[in-house]
Amino acid sequence: MIVRLADRLRGLPDLLARLGPGSRVLLLRIVARFGWKVTGAVLAAALYAAPRYRQWIVWVLLGWCAAAWSHAPSDEPAEDHIEDADAPVEEGSAGPDPADVADVVRDVIGTGRGALLTGLRGPLGAADTRAVRECLDAAGIPVRPGVRTSGGNGPGVHRDDVPTPRPAPADTPVGVVAAGEVADANNG
């Protein structure tokens, strides 16, 4: 029986198709963990040492391919993102409440100078930075083209542009106890 090489390698394109997106995800995770400078320095050192250690190139490439394949996003939608086609779509459920967006942005900024749009995607539950911009526009929070943060520079929200927190509801009891008084008001 004659077996062609093409028949043996039939599953290879599907396997290789995952390496591109997986490599992007892996590289972004490495850069997020170590930064561009460290990643670039390690890459430069590897390229410098490659002629001397030629036998290790294959093992490094094989390890990279395995890591990229395992980091590749799956083609199947996650079960929690599957929606019924018959379910009605609510128009108001596109994003978080505009009043809550300022609280979320304030929490992300913390003690820093600002927050990048990419850093707000997760907390706001947005798919991309365009959706983050729409949430911020709905809340009336301006986006600056350049914001400096500890995670890098780019478009984002500066801490001075976030509105002040909402006041506490007026019906909350406020108790003041002076020194020497009993804190229990039921002592008739």
- Rounded Cα–Cα distance for residues 139 and 163 (Å): 10
Task: Give me the pLDDT at residue 90, please.
Answer: 46
The answer regarding whether domain 95-161 maps to CATH 1.10.10 reads yes
Domain ranges in the chain are 11-71, 95-161
Tens of pLDDT, residue by residue, the chain (188 residues)? 566 776 676 767 776 777 778 888 888 888 888 888 988 998 899 888 888 888 888 888 888 888 887 877 766 555 544 444 444 444 444 567 777 788 888 888 888 888 888 888 888 777 788 888 888 888 888 888 888 887 788 888 888 888 777 666 666 555 666 666 666 656 55
Q: How confident is the model at residue 41, as a pLDDT?
A: 93
Tokens read off for 98: 């505009």
How much is the pTM? 0.41
Rg of the chain (C-alpha set): 26
Helix or strand (DSSP H, E) at 115: strand 114-116
The predicted structure's pLDDT at residue 44:
92
What's the angle, vertex CA 42, arms to CA 45 and CA 120, rounded to 5? 160
